[in-house]
Amino acid sequence: MSADLLTATRLGTLRRCPRQHYLRYELGLCRVRKATPLRFGSAFHRGLELYRSGISADLAVQTAAEDYETCPDWAEPAAWAVEGETLRALLAGHFWRYAEDGVEFLSVEQRFELPLPDCEAFRLAGKIDGIIRLPDGRAAILEYKTAGEDIAPDAAYWLRLRWDGQIALYVLAARALGYDVAAVLYDVTRKPTIRLRRGETPKQYGKRLLADIGERPDFYLQRRELPCLEGQLDEFRRELALQAELLAECRRRGWWFRNVSALTCRNCQYSALCLNGITIGPDDPPPSGFEFLPDVHPELQQEE
């Protein structure tokens, strides 16, 4: 288990709640069934990765959505089918809109592992969606995101991305790999707000969604370039040092405090366990509905 790799997701979990970090990354505890946003986002990301690796758009859509061909026992069939059709429509719309974007890919799904300055206990790791050359010749990071909120050019969503620690990490990693990057091209896809109509089949819904994407592409698909300034990188380095100290101290004391609030607990997969005072240690069996992951960073695994 690569427990001492610090990824952007792991660092974000530690900032959100040390107890959540303990359960997820120290123990490797995870729900057996993926939550819908994580499941959908992983499949969407997979389709983009396949397409950028050189296969056709149709095959990329088909392969990314293949898990939706069979409905699992725990899922409601109509909702499962609608989720699959949503994935297919958003991928097809994305490939259509950016078919001639003039972007040259220098690297796709670039995995990295770097030393953490002045710290031997942890190493920085991750996987960059894309390192690209923009039409004007500059190198940049390409970061794919799916969002369930407004992504119009004046939306608050873009202000938050300016301080995205994940991108600061990726810029540092790309430079360490020899790419002279100073900007990030965010590629954001918004999830639909339209729903299945009464009497409408999931496939009919998918066709209607694809038509809506064609009529309102700016609602669903936005790209924006944001700079990654040296001051932001310096601030991120200081944050890394503090988080490494916190992580080491929690380990030394054997104590992982809770950060209890509506924002942190509402979408936490461990809230029912944690808030009911159920303690879990490394020698305990996983609770019902959970499992211990053999690798706490499955997103870093190389795929065939």
pLDDT at 304: 42
pLDDT at 117: 83
Within 8 A by CB and 6+ apart from 3, the residues are 25, 26, 296
Token pair in block for residue 269: 């997969």
Torsion sign (Cα): 129, 218, 79, 157: positive
Please spell the DSSP secondary structure of 42-55, one letter per residue.
Answer: HHHHHHHHHHHTT-
Instruction: Please report which helix (H) or strand (E) contains residue 112, including its range.
Output: strand 104-116
The pTM of this model reads 0.85
Q: How far is residue 122's CA from residue 132's CA, in Å, rounded to a whole number? A: 28
Q: How far is residue 237's CA from residue 219's CA, in Å, rounded to a whole number? A: 35
The answer to whether 295 and 30 have CB atoms below 8 angstroms apart is no
Distance, first Cα to last Cα, the chain: 20
Q: Largest Cα–Cα distance of the chain, in whole Å?
A: 62
The answer to whether 196 and 78 have CB atoms below 8 angstroms apart is yes
Walk along the chain (304 residues) and give the pLDDT tens digit of each residue: 444 999 999 999 999 999 999 999 999 999 987 666 678 888 999 999 899 888 999 999 999 999 999 998 888 999 999 999 999 999 999 999 999 999 999 998 899 999 988 888 899 999 999 999 999 999 999 999 999 999 999 999 998 888 888 889 999 999 999 999 988 999 999 999 999 999 999 999 999 999 999 999 999 999 999 888 888 899 999 999 999 999 999 999 999 999 999 999 998 999 999 999 999 999 999 999 999 999 999 888 755 4
pLDDT at 35: 63
Q: How far is CA 40 from the centre of its chain?
A: 10
What are the structural domains of the chain? 8-29+253-299 (no CATH), 36-228 (3.90.320)
pLDDT at 302: 58
pLDDT at 301: 75
